[in-house]
Structure 1
Amino acid sequence: MAAKEAPKQRDAEATKGRILSAAKVEFAKNGLAGARVDEIADRAKANKRMIYHYFGNKDDLFQAVLEEAYVDIRTAEQKLELDHLPPREALEKLVRFTWQYYLKNPEFITLVNSANLHKARHLKHSKVIEVVSRKFVTMVGGLLDRGVAEGVFRPGIDPVQLNITIAAIGYYYLTNRFTGSIVFERDLTAPEALDERLQFNIDTVLRLVCITP
């Protein structure tokens, strides 16, 4: 019996994976309100009944997409293995990673924007978000403690505030790069401009955290 159930289980997981991938594209493009379940079903090569069976309603599917998005970035951060690097080098690697992740995964930013439009009601009771977020804060807190112990970082820095700052200085630039290019009369999307901004982000965070930048 188990041998017969295994292929069905694999098929179910594959279908759920296709639905999540299709939903991420649709929600990132059109937001929760504008996303259409029919479009998600077509893109996933599934039917609406399967979507409702696996995920419930559209709000539940949106929550699943958000959870997967946060798990993805938090998992990638854990794989950086920052505890194996000197504190200053580890912090720079985290800043660099955050910037590059946003560039490579623009849908993450649009999904977060959409979640905030709905006051994060889809995440308020998510155990998934709670677990991965606490693990990340613990990781950053450990990095800061290690830097303080080695006389490299200033004491008393809140890991949550630091993460908000690292995210914000990249997030704001990228979400406003098109309007900013007009307002500041320079192409903020050019490769050299992106490189310049990354270095500015790194310098800013190091000056904030390090005793000697």
Structure 2
Amino acid sequence: MTSVEEPSRADGRGRDAARTRAEILDVATQEFARAGYDGARVDEIAARTRTTKRMIYYYFGGKEQLFTAVLERAYGALREAEGRLDVSHLDPVAGIRRLAGLVFDHHEQHPDYLRLLSGDNGQAAEHIAAVGALGAIGSPALGALRRVLAAGQESGVFRTDVDAADVHAVISSFCFFRGVNGRTFGALFGRDLVDPARRAHYRTMLGDMVVAYLTAGRSAA
């Protein structure tokens, strides 16, 4: 009887630990996104979870390690979605549009992700640079782009003097600017980039920009 019950208790402890860790990361994501790294307080994170400051340090080691774990999870979620996206059945132009649309949707649906990246950029990206796993996390995203880009280049549809990192920079730049600076842009120029009524317009515009960049000097796609 004991040999049966002990694994059950161990499994229960494992599930509780996983839930606690996930809850801490959820609240920490909100706190770091709201206040930035310098303004966020571990005491506040502990107060909003069913744990203690001591347990947060037990799971993560400290504030810096907690922030790094938050960044790794936030960044990894988008990269996993990109890695799961199958565009092999699409022509290169449609494939690029699909990839651009996925990034557009994710950035819009995860504003905390944008605020986290913006905050770490203010810290010279020192925390992202400290996450050794991010190189592996980034690979699926560039891998999908490389495959679509190569197909378009081999068929003569896409120009050959660009690579996946260039395309990813174009896509991410627009999505990041819209998410972080959309309201400011609206205040300055009278055009709200995050107006729901214009969402489809901007999503299509992103695809148009990327395709125009890749097909410059080629036959119209």
Instruction: Confirm or deny a common fold (TM above 0.5).
Output: yes
Check whether the contact 1:21–1:44 (CA below 8 A) recurs between aligned residues. Answer: no
SS of corresponding position for 1:25: helix
SS of corresponding position for 1:123: helix
2:118 is equivalent to residue 113 of structure 1: yes
Query: Aligned to 1:64, which of 38, 57, 69?
Result: 69
- The corresponding residue for 1:205 is 210
Change (3 A) 1:4 1:186: closer
| Number of residues of Structure 1 aligned to a counterpart in Structure 2 | 213
- The corresponding residue for 2:96 is 91
State the alpha-carbon separation in 2 of the partners of residues 54 and 85 from structure 1.
44
- The corresponding residue for 1:54 is 59
2:35 is equivalent to residue 44 of structure 1: no
Matches within 5 A, 1:1-213: 1-210=6-215, 211=218, 212-213=220-221
One-letter code aligned to 1:101: H
State the alpha-carbon separation in 2 of the partners of residues 209 and 3 from structure 1.
56
One-letter code aligned to 2:155: E
The percentage of counterpart residues that share the same residue type is 31
Structure (1 or 2) with the larger CA radius of gyration: 2
One-letter code aligned to 2:137: V
SS of corresponding position for 1:46: coil
One-letter code aligned to 1:8: R
Q: Provide TM-score, normalisation by structure 2.
A: 0.91
SS of corresponding position for 2:130: coil
One-letter code aligned to 1:28: A
Deviation of the 1:178 alpha carbon:
1.5
- Cα deviation code 1:145-187 (max 9, x no counterpart): 1111223222131111110111101211222221211221233
State the alpha-carbon separation in 1 of the partners of residues 107 and 12 from structure 2.
36
One-letter code aligned to 1:60: Q
State the alpha-carbon separation in 1 of the partners of residues 120 and 84 from structure 2.
26
Deviation of the 1:90 alpha carbon:
0.9
State the alpha-carbon separation in 2 of the partners of residues 44 and 63 from structure 1.
19
Change (3 A) 1:152 1:47: same
SS of corresponding position for 1:44: coil
Check whether the contact 1:99–1:198 (CA below 8 A) recurs between aligned residues. Answer: yes
Q: Which runs of 5+ in 2 are unaligned?
A: 1-5
Runs of 4+ off more than 4 Å: none
State the alpha-carbon separation in 2 of the partners of residues 117 and 148 from structure 1.
37
Check whether the contact 2:82–2:144 (CA below 8 A) recurs between aligned residues. Answer: no
Deviation of the 1:142 alpha carbon:
1.6
Q: Provide TM-score, normalisation by structure 1.
A: 0.94
